[in-house]
Amino acid sequence: MLKPILLQVLFDKLDRLVDLGEHDKAALSALPQHHKTIPTGGYIVREGTKPDYCAILLQGYAIRQKLSADGKRQILAIQIAGDPLDAQHMFLDCADHTVQALGEARVAIIPRHALQTVVMSRPALTHAFAVNGQVDASIFREWLLNIGRRDARKRLAHLFCEIAVRLEANGQSTTDGFYLPMSQEELGDATSLTSVHVNRSLRILEDEGFIARNGRTIRFPDKAATMKMAGFDPRYLHLGRQSDAVIAESVQNGESSRGAGDRYGRSDA
């Protein structure tokens, strides 16, 4: 299998985050790689192992997940085309969660050590992967808020908003809705709900006009309204380019605050 420029979708994503030079892209493209199709449900990373390769999602979707001791599944994140699926293994010795294809997916497989060498030897790439990792962490944080503090209806709506916005940001345009190959049970595992309650909540969202469904394709009749209802604020996705060298401007001075009113700052609007 030759090496097509099919990491393009990764470049698109990284380029959006930082200013990547042609040499950096060339260095990535020059890495040994092969592309592979993973069937629905196929494993890409298994918890407890240390893969010697890194996978980049080229097409389709993948999920991160963990199981509790009594076998209940929690989906931790949904990855879309362009997302590195196990960049974390450049830094961690053991996978702490599992990654599986959602629907049929296409991935690029790159030897971990080779990728690590290139990424760590090129400042722009080091930076790009660091930013990517921090954005992932920010998404985990928002999911904690979503699952911990929003009701079923808002949780689902928020999830849909996130995916729609991330797809758009990557230029995987979704003017007329987007296809999301998740069963209602999987939606439940992503939102900590049962499939039964997902079903009912989806119906309510639909009846209220916040979403429209056609099979597993989701559309927003009024996207702004849905975002508002779900408390979705895209800031946590850090979509813009993250400036590298920044001039300091704010000043730290000893704030101290407690008491009822302003105990903590505001979050999403």
Partner DNA sequence: CGACACATTGAACAGCATCAACCCAGGTGG
Partner DNA sequence: CCACCTGGGTTGATGCTGTTCAATGTGTCG
Residues in 195-224 that interact with DNA by CB under 7 A: 195-197, 199-203, 216
The interface partner of residue 76, options being DNA, its own copies, none and the CB cut-off 5 to 8 Å by kind, is its own copies
Cα 202 to Cα 191: distance, rounded to the nearest angstrom:
12
Structure tokens at 218: 């989701």
- Is residue 185 a contact point for DNA (CB under 7 A)? yes
Residue 88: count of CB within 10 angstroms of its CB: 16
- Which one of its own copies, DNA, none is in contact with 153 (Cβ closer than 5 to 8 A by kind)? DNA
Q: Is 40 in the site for its own copies (CB under 8 A)?
A: yes
Chain-centre distance of CA 138, in angstroms? Answer: 10
Q: Is 212 in the site for its own copies (CB under 8 A)?
A: no
Both tokens of residue 5? 């420029």
- Indicate which single residue of 23, 149, 203, 213 sits in contact with its own copies (rule: CB under 8 A): 149
The answer to whether 109 touches 53, Cβ cutoff 8 Å, is yes
CA dist 215 and 213 (Å) reads 6
Examine residue 224 and tell whether it contacts its own copies (CB under 8 A).
Answer: no
**Subset of residues 90 to 119 that bind its own copies, contact rule: CB under 8 A:** 90-94, 96-98, 100, 109, 111-113
* Orientation of helix 152-169 relative to helix 195-207, angle to 10°: 80
Beta bridge partners of 206: none
- Told to check if 183 binds its own copies by CB under 8 A, we report no
Q: Would you count residue 42 as binding its own copies (CB under 8 A)?
A: yes
- Stretch binding DNA (CB under 7 A), from 11-19, 28-36, 137-145, 177-185: 177-185
